[in-house]
């Protein structure tokens, strides 16, 4: 399907008007590619992992990485690093440290979602502490940091279990990627961050806040099947997830299919109540979105839906961006951004005619930014 663009309107003396509509096909292309971080090249960082990318109302683009100090493993100490572009991704400011592990144990910090609150003019950063439950001196905890100057400074980390005991000893990993703020009813203005709980009782959870991040609660949940038991290939588990709001106010969730339930492709879920629930009858598989069980990213930009992942059924290779003009019912085309080793990714708007992709490549050796022209 091609997008229709109105080019001109001509008025006639008979008071009739003629509108000429020209159909313009999408033709996304990578126009610029940069390496933002290289593993082992900067300070104490061994590997840059788990990309997050967002654009702010000021036009700046913020790139984040869950940087790992000693190896690429999930179970090492980490630092949240950030770089800023003030010119739509052409140049980037030096790396800043947003938060880092301080304790002597391992697995103290895990990414993470970044959400723009357009009403409160803030950035909301959720991350977890000890999600794999191997810390030496504490239990899994969910934290939040906020910035009210678009990432130039950050407030102190807030332990969310102090306001909601449901988050105490809650081994939950948000994202990685971005959360959203609902712009339409139901629950207009709500902040939503989705991720997955690990450990014995695995599940996909969406967390919501209706007061701009002051308090949070666990909302829509889809448990793993079997629940509370060991798992094997073919079981059902929605893992790392990304979410968008559709023009009718409903939500579409796109999840990693951890154990290849039904196919080696993505799991899709929908919510019609602002993320409070994802009914069983609204869960489906998208066979077009082949996936090796890896984090992907979903973006709705000017009514065009984009999806990024390593498009391969078994290996983390072939970083691809697909696009849909009917909100994910069908996928009109695909752009291979990187045919080689490529892993996690995160999409973001840049401007009306460009989107950005931050992704791991080369066996986690580099974190790259690709700027994609849509038309």
Through-space distance between the first and last CA atoms of the chain, rounded to whole angstroms = 14
Count the Cβ atoms, other than its own, within 10 Å of residue 194.
29
Say which residues have a Cβ less than 8 Å from residue 187's Cβ, sequence separation at least 6: 208, 210, 273, 274, 275
SS3 158: strand
**Tally of CB atoms within 10 A around 289:** 23
Average pLDDT, the chain: 89
Long-range contacts, stretch 351-357, CB < 8 angstroms, 24+ apart: 351/59, 351/88, 352/302, 354/31, 354/88, 354/89, 355/299, 355/301, 355/306, 356/53, 356/55, 356/61, 356/89, 357/53, 357/297, 357/308, 357/319, 357/321
Query: Would 173 be classed as within a structural domain?
Result: yes
Query: Tens digits of per-residue pLDDT, 126-148?
Result: 998 877 656 656 678 899 999 99
Domains held by the chain: number: 1
Q: Just list the catalytic residues.
A: 74, 344, 360
Rounded distance between C-alpha atoms, residue 146 and residue 232, angstroms = 39
**Mind listing the pLDDT tens digit of every residue in the chain (375 residues)?**
444 443 333 232 333 334 443 445 789 999 999 999 998 866 678 889 999 999 999 999 999 998 887 766 666 677 889 999 999 999 999 999 898 765 555 556 788 999 999 999 999 999 988 776 566 566 788 999 999 999 999 999 999 989 999 998 888 999 999 999 999 999 999 999 999 998 889 999 999 999 999 999 999 999 999 999 999 999 999 999 999 999 999 999 999 999 999 999 999 999 999 999 999 999 999 999 999 999 999 999 999 999 999 999 999 999 999 999 999 999 999 999 999 999 999 999 999 999 999 999 999 999 999 999 999
Q: How far apart are CA 82 and CA 123, in angstroms?
A: 13
CA-derived radius of gyration, the chain: 21
Q: Which two tokens stand for residue 120?
A: 């409160």
Q: Which two tokens stand for residue 1?
A: 């399907």
Closest to 315 in 3D by CA, of 336, 335, 298, 291: 291
Distance between CA 225 and CA 47 in Å, rounded?
Answer: 33
In sequence order, the β-bridge partners of residue 25 are none
Domain that holds residue 351: 27-373
Residue 89 counted as domain residue: yes
Flag whether 9 is in a domain.
Answer: no
Q: Is the peptide bond before 226 cis (omega within 30 degrees of 0)?
A: yes
Q: What is the three-class DSSP state of 66? A: strand
**Residues 342, 58: Cα–Cα separation, whole Å:** 30
Q: Are 275 and 253 in contact (CB under 8 A)?
A: no
Note whether residue 14 is domain-resident: no
| Residue position matching structure tokens 């104490």 | 44
Inter-CA distances, 185 with 24, 49, 92, 273, Å: 32, 35, 37, 9
pLDDT digits (tens, 9 = 90+) for 259-299: 999 999 999 999 999 999 999 999 999 999 999 999 999 99
- Inside any domain, residue 4: no
Q: Which helix (H) or strand (E) element contains residue 47?
A: strand 47-55
- 278 assigned to some structural domain: yes
User: For position 139, which CATH number holds?
Assistant: 2.120.10.10
Tokens 């559709």, located at residue: 246
Residue 18 in domain: no
Q: Is residue 321 part of a domain?
A: yes
């Amino acid at each position: 399907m091609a997008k229709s663009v109105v080019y001109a309107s001509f008025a006639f003396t008979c008071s009739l008007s003629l509108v000429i509509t020209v159909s313009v096909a999408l033709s996304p292309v990578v126009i610029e590619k940069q390496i933002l971080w290289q593993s082992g090249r900067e300070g104490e960082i061994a590997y840059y992992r788990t990309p997050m990318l967002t654009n702010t109302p000021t036009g700046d683009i913020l790139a984040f990485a869950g940087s790992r100090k000693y190896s690429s493993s999930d179970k090492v100490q980490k630092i949240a690093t950030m770089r800023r572009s003030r010119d739509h991704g052409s140049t980037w400011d030096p790396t800043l440290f947003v938060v880092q592990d301080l304790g002597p144990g391992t697995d103290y910090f895990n990414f993470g979602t970044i959400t723009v609150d357009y009403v409160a003019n803030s950035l909301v950063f959720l991350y977890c502490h000890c999600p794999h439950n191997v810390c030496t001196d504490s239990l899994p905890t969910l934290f939040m940091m906020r910035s009210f100057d678009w990432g130039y400074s950050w407030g102190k980390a807030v332990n969310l279990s102090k306001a909601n005991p449901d988050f105490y000893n809650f081994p939950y990993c948000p994202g990685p990627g971005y959360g959203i703020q609902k712009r339409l009813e139901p629950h207009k203005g709500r902040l939503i961050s989705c991720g997955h709980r690990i450990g014995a009782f695995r599940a996909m959870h969406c967390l919501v806040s209706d007061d701009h991040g002051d308090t949070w609660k666990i909302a829509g949940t889809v448990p793993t099947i079997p629940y509370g038991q060991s798992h094997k290939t073919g079981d059902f588990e929605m893992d790392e997830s990304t979410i968008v709001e559709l023009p009718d106010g409903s939500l579409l969730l796109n999840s990693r299919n951890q154990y290849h339930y039904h196919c080696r492709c993505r799991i899709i879920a929908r919510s019609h109540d602002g993320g409070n629930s994802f009914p069983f009858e609204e869960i489906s598989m998208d066979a077009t979105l082949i996936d090796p069980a890896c984090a992907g990213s979903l973006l709705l930009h000017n009514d065009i839906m984009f999806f990024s992942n390593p498009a391969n059924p078994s290996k983390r290779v072939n970083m691809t961006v697909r696009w849909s003009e009917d909100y994910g019912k069908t996928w009109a085309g695909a752009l291979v951004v990187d045919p080689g080793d490529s892993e996690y990714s995160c999409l973001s708007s840049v401007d009306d005619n460009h989107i950005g992709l931050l992704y791991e490549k080369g066996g986690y050796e580099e974190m790259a930014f690709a700027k994609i022209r849509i038309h």
